[in-house]
Amino acid sequence: MEEHQDSDSALREDIRDLGELLGATLREQGGAELYETVERVRVLAKTARAGDDEAAQELERTLSELPPEQVTPVARAFSQFLNLANIAEQHHRVRRSREWARTPEARPLFGSLAETVPRLAADMEPEQLHEAICNMDINLVFTAHPTEVQRRTMLQKYNRIAGLLDNRDRFGQTPTEVAETRLALKREITAAWHSDEIRRRRPTPQDEARWGLAVVEQTLWDAVPRYLRSLDHTLREHTGRPLPLDCAPITFGSWMGGDRDGNPNVTHRVTRDVAILSRWMAAYLYERDIQRLVSTLSLQVCDDELREEVGGEAWEPYRVVLKRLRARLRQTMRWAEAKLQGGRPPESDILSDVEDLRQPLLRCYYSLQRVGAGVVAEGELLDTIRRVSCFGLTLMPMDIRQHAERHTAVLDAITRAVGLGSYAEWDEPTRQQWLFQELSHRRPLIPLDFKPEREVQEVLDTIRMLEEIGPDAVGAYIVSHAAKPSDILAVELLQKECGLTHPTRVVPLFETRDTLAEAADTMEVLFESDWYRQRIAGRQEIMIGYSDSTKDAGHLTSTWTLYQAQEQLVALSRRQRIDLTLFHGRGGSIGRGGGPTHAAILAQPPGSVDGTLRVTEQGEVMQAKFGLPGIALRNLELYTTSVLEATVRPPEPPPQRWREILDRLSARAMAAYRDTVKERPEFMDYFRAATPIDEISRLTIGSRPAKRSPDQMTVDSLRAIPWVFAWTQTRLMLPAWLGVGEALEEAIEEGLTEELQEMFAHWPFFEAFLDMVEMVVAKAEPGVNRLYEHALVPEELRGVGDELRERFARTRDAVLTVTGHEQPLSDFPVVKRAVEVRNPYVDPLNLLQVELLRRSRMCEDDSLRRGLQVVINGIAAGMRNTG
């Protein structure tokens, strides 16, 4: 307990220190008046949070009366503090992990390799454990969904601040060094204050891809070999066998530059350029590694095989091999640069096969082992070999995502052109029969003189481009809004007609309640086809969407539908003897499937995590999970241990009685949710008035439009990200809880409280769900929503808000009744403390946003728009999982 308190005091000291440095920066750079205003607002906000109504009124009055020239600086001050608090908390997590590891009597950290592997090893044969770990296939897919509103330059500054906090902790600094570190911290905070944290233009897909590649360069490039060394050590200790050199249980993928669903900015040329950019970045990072190895591997002794390769007279054989490899890497970089500039450089002597990179490194490694210099081989050389296994030649193979309707439009244009009628008007059996027939024909279908409309041509150009960039650069072809077997077969046919020699695997994305419920039936039709079974060669990947299913039917119904869909798909694949990989399209927020990694994976249905897992990592989640080396290492461990445990020790299937209760809860929750958001015509008017949704739609935070249809604003047309983001900004968090309260209340009134509590205690799925809802309840502030309403919503619509806040209160009570907690987050003190620390700093930003929205809706003004962007940024930083 004493150690826990000491560690918490270190966090408080970091936050206090960073706050003091920010205050000094405000006084020096912004003037005494700005500093005094910010201090006054801060004190009033903390006093108001303590329950002082007079302070709350004075806070509102102070912020509403701010002169225009002070609004943005005040907002920036609170936004910057929240970002600094986030840095301190992330650093604190790393510090706590190190403290834990340094304490001999402490139990290993929950979810770590040191905790999980010995526990599982107690009931497994060593060979079985080794095989389970080495056969794992976890793929983390970085997406460009724009919930990360920070500019890359600001993130780099914040990472440097985290590094300075780390240095201050780790090296026992002298008083002079402490002073120098403090000065360096002030320097970074001052530089951040004078930097523009708001993007002046909307990022391009190429910009988003560069941001994703920067995460690899700055963090994962070093974290991955550290993680693999730890995994190797654990395997040797508990199985007596090492991790194979070519084994990479975790790899990475990307949607950046490949996700074209509803994004007209992602064209085939953009995708091609991003693929080439990834090749360049990979070559650059490997060249950096090889340059270091050239400097260190100056040994003269080697085995006969390596001596023969380099020539008998070579004085330093390893350097000869490595310099040849370095030359090819540099040539690959020059080739990529020329391609990006529109040239057609020769492909001779570039690295086009991963074995061209791996084999020279392995020859050096095995030679060192054979001549007794294994300790040298196990250093930087082994790290580079491990990186090759994880990152290949492209770092993150890119998925292509396209809406099913776009493929229908292409085939419709083709069938009309060849005189077969309208494919779009055919029923599903007719489509399937024709598709299977065409897939079996060797003759071409597309006429040589085919000149379709631009959108149809773009789909064909994209598929043909896949042949140019090569199979190593492509992960999967995702068919979003897949509903029928023909949606999958359509892409298979288009790949055949476009002449792909190595067709990309086609992955259906089922993302609404109805298509999820029918997913197993859809796939069974395909699995019964001899052609399709031969095409997939016993392996099938299926993506399930959390965001749109939640927006469509509500959080509870979506979660239960996803669980059942996975059960059905697992059962089907086992009957058909097909290896299934489920791809989870999760967002950062609770309302889009977000939540703690370990609990979420262990809550999946039995058999659904069978050594394989793909999952999206989106927006601010990328920075929160992989922005700092220590945090990245911890998250890689958590993915490994949770997938391992879910594979070798899956949860028991729930009793039929619990399933029946969930069915009833789901039906009631969906009815309550849809009745509100889809059946009440005034709801969307309230939503647009009470939240900054229109302003968010104009933000320059992502390359994709906020709406699928530019001419309307409905729940169905709105993308899931801005839908959740807008409610998070006003802190009502509606998508994560609406409908849950009505369902639980009804069950409680029917006398099912004890059964619900038993389900919470013994069913990981239900426990994880309610834990997440309870977290949302703790973070929500209905009183803040009321402030938006009073200032922005017409009187005739305010009844909607009154009803929503009353339903929120009932949801909170019902959730606590089932969990048995007196207050939300009783079991999560760390999260509870983080929420409490942030609230006094987020509150003023909400009040400023209300005032800015009120002013901007009366008149358009660039300064108001900039102020709104700063405030939105700050609230997102304070709420963390925003959209």
- Rounded CA separation 459/453 (Å): 10
Contact 70, 91 (CB under 8 A): no
Closest CA to 481 of 490, 468, 470, 469: 490
Closest CA to 570 of 527, 608, 624, 522: 608
Closest CA to 66 of 875, 693, 852, 857: 852
Which one of 551, 584, 598, 625 is the catalytic residue? 551
Structure token digits, residue 883: 């959209």
Examine the residue annotation and report whether 145 is marked as an active-site residue of this protein.
Answer: yes
Closest CA to 261 of 720, 578, 843: 720
Task: Point out which residues pair with 121 in neighbouring strands.
Answer: none
Contact 98, 92 (CB under 8 A): no
Task: Point out which residues pair with 401 in neighbouring strands.
Answer: 259, 478
Burial (CB count within 10 angstroms: exposed 0-12, middle 13-18, buried 19+), residue 453 = exposed
- Rounded CA separation 81/193 (Å): 11
Interior angle at CA 134, CA 131 and CA 135, nearest 5: 80
In whole angstroms, how far apart are CA 167 and each of 95, 174, 179, 187? 11, 12, 12, 16
Who contacts 68 (Cβ-Cβ below 8 Å, separation ≥6)? Answer: 863, 864
DSSP state, 264?
A: T
Q: How is 654-688 classified by DSSP, letter by letter? A: PPHHHHHHHHHHHHHHHHHHHHHHTT-HHHHHHHH
Q: How is 549-593 classified by DSSP, letter by letter? A: HHHHH-HHHHHHHHHHHHHHHHHHHHHTT-EEEEEEE--SSGGGT
Helix (H, G, I), strand (E, B) or coil at 467: helix
Who contacts 16 (Cβ-Cβ below 8 Å, separation ≥6)? Answer: none
For 581, phi then psi, to 5°, come to: -115, 125
Examine the residue annotation and report whether 551 is marked as an active-site residue of this protein.
Answer: yes
Whats the size of the chain, residue-wise?
883
Which one of 130, 145, 481, 584 is the catalytic residue? 145
Contact 474, 501 (CB under 8 A): no
- Unique residue bearing structure tokens 């009440």: 680
- Unique residue bearing structure tokens 């938006």: 788
Structure token digits, residue 61: 């009055």
Contact 72, 863 (CB under 8 A): yes
Other Cβ atoms within 10 Å of 132 Cβ, number: 18
Catalytic positions, please? Answer: 145, 551
